[in-house]
């Protein structure tokens, strides 16, 4: 591999990381005023970004909410006096969205049917959500019977059987199924971004989130090692600590962890988990991350990584041509980042399990 090959390879890493960083997942919600679209937006993100109130169709523009690279938009009413059908798609750039969620809490509306049919003609993906399922009630009928009534009504309006997700933002019922449905309808790159930014409501999605973090870590660690502008004392490696600090912060945010959340859940931790939780908070500065790199590098030396191991690593990243030092920098950086990701995932799993099994929200 000559010098030009090396730079081309580093450029390819930068391009792939830039592509991932610049990718947004755009989701549009539409449906009846008061159906809980704002609550659903907050539930998918895991933060109270949208003001929950009785919605009306008097807004003059779409209402987007951005969380990292996840963009959720509450579209105004389609085919209303304020927003006629002939200009709606152009006015709100409807076709730029990846997925549409039709949210309703009462009878399915004709306007929603018309909008869905236009989306279908354009080849857009639409998910149907009957929200506020916890408040469904009709004397003499069970919840399951009421759900069957909803399915029958939707089929009558749409003209065919469609999957309807029954959700409650208060009890969190159905949110995991909805999250999985969104994930399944995205391309590979957008699946990674959605996994990073959406809230997890199941252990399975936490595992998916962890795998998405690994992809982000792989690219970031490659670039941090390639830049190599900060010498790490004691061990013979150089790393771009600014990139690495950003990786660690992104991982924490992905798992929804901050000091307040970790502290309030301390009663759940045994002695080992308490140490893990403290490490999650500890490694948030360049100084602390440098010490972690030193520890990981020493551990690797103690394991006496062979030349064959480095050769295998070199096949995975384009840094081997710059010498063993750059490759070792990647190996140490990746190992430290992956270990940090696993710690975050473990604490997030403990917190989620407590919520699931105790029935708290």
Q: What is the pLDDT of residues 301-341, one digit of tens each?
A: 666 544 444 444 444 455 544 555 577 888 899 999 999 99
More confident residue, 253 or 323: 253
**Percentage above 70 pLDDT, the chain:** 87
Which residues lie below 8 Å from residue 179, measured CB to CB, with a gap of 6+? 44, 198, 199, 200, 201, 205
Lowest mean pLDDT across 23-27, 50-54, 176-180: 50-54
Predicted pLDDT of residue 249: 96
Other Cβ atoms closer than 10 A to 229: 11
Give the pLDDT of residue 57: 46
Which two three-digit tokens encode residue 285? 């500065």
Rounded (10°) CA dihedral 279, 282, 283, 285: 180
24-186 belongs to which CATH class? alpha beta
For residue 5, the model assigns a pLDDT of 40
Domain spans, the chain: 24-186, 200-358
pLDDT, tens digit, for every residue of 103-140? Answer: 998 877 888 899 999 999 999 999 999 999 999 999 99
User: Which of these, 230, 236, 247, 215, lies nearest to 316 by C-alpha position?
Assistant: 215
């Amino acid at each position: 591999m000559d010098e030009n090959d090396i730079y081309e390879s580093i450029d390819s890493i930068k391009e792939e990381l830039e592509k991932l960083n610049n990718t947004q997942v755009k989701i549009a919600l539409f449906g009846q005023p008061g159906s809980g679209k704002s609550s659903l937006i907050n539930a998918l993100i895991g933060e109270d970004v949208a003001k929950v109130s009785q919605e009306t169709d008097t807004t003059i523009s779409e209402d987007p909410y951005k969380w990292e690279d996840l963009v959720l938009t509450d579209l105004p009413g389609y085919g209303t006096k304020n927003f006629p059908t002939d200009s709606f798609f152009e006015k709100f750039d409807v076709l730029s969205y990846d997925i549409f969620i039709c949210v309703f809490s009462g009878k399915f509306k004709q306007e929603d049917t018309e909008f869905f049919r236009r989306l279908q003609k354009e080849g857009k993906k639409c998910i149907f959500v009957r929200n506020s399922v916890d408040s469904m009630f009709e004397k003499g009928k069970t919840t399951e019977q009421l759900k069957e009534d909803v399915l029958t009504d939707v089929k009558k309006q749409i003209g065919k059987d469609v999957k309807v997700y029954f959700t409650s933002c208060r009890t969190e019922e159905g949110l995991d199924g909805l999250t999985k449905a969104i994930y399944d309808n995205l391309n590979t790159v957008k699946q990674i971004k959605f996994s990073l930014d959406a809230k997890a409501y199941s252990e399975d999605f936490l595992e998916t989130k962890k795998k998405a973090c690994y992809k982000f870590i792989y690219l970031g660690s490659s670039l941090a090692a390639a830049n190599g502008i900060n010498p790490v004392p004691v061990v013979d490696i150089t790393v771009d600590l600014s990139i690495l600090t950003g990786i660690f912060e992104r991982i924490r945010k992905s798992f929804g962890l901050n000091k307040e959340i970790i502290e309030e859940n301390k009663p759940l931790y045994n002695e080992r988990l308490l140490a893990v939780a403290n490490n999650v908070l500890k490694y948030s500065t360049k100084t602390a991350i440098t010490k972690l790199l030193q520890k990981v590098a020493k551990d690797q030396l103690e394991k006496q990584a062979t030349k064959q191991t480095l050769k295998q690593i070199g096949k995975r990243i384009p840094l081997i041509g710059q010498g063993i030092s750059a490759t070792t920098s990647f190996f140490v950086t990746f190992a430290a980042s992956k270990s940090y990701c696993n710690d975050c995932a473990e604490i997030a799993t403990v917190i989620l399990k407590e919520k699931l099994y105790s029935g708290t929200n």
